[in-house]
Amino acid sequence: MTPFKIRRRLKSLLGQPERAEIVRYPVTFLLPDGTEEVVHAEEHYSLLMAADAHGITISTGRRAGGTCPDGHCATCRVEIVSSAGLSPMTDAERESLQDALDGKPHEGRARKPAPPASPNTRLGCYTKIRGPGARVKILELFDPDSIRGE
């Protein structure tokens, strides 16, 4: 911030809007060990981003966690207990999930077919937070020991 709020005054004179307030919604994560963690996640964050921002790293196909570059690894699977406040499933998410179930290669590598999905199975990287009330069961957390060398 500059002295005398000069930037804010200039922006208002130029007609530039003020920054929008960050909106956060509560999301309940049911962890694999049976515990529950309620986090307040930013609107439009994916479940994967929201969990990671609060120290809950959902297991993915990447060696160090995080999202895969194209969103097609389909290993950040979660089970939706309550879909309140979550975005609907997109065609791209449905296709990624089906490719994993069919065992189609990803990033040029073969892969085994994924375990069967339930009607409540979603991908954490595609599912966006749009409002309050979501309850999400995380099936597997990222294991940092899996990337340690000998």
CB of 67 within 8 A of CB of 60? Answer: yes
Place of tokens 């309940």: 28
The model's pLDDT over 38-83, given as tens digits with 9 standing for 90+, comes to 999 999 999 999 998 898 888 876 655 555 666 788 888 999 999 9
Instruction: Give Cα 82 distance to the centre of its chain.
Output: 16
Place of tokens 């073969």: 110
Residue length, the chain?
Answer: 150
Cα 97-45-22 angle, rounded to 5 deg: 165
What's the Rg (C-alpha) of the chain? Answer: 19
Q: Percent of the chain having pLDDT more than 90?
A: 51
CATH no. of 23-141: 3.10.20.30
Q: What is the pTM of this model?
A: 0.79
CB of 27 within 8 A of CB of 136? Answer: yes
Kindly state the tokens that stand for 10: 């200039």
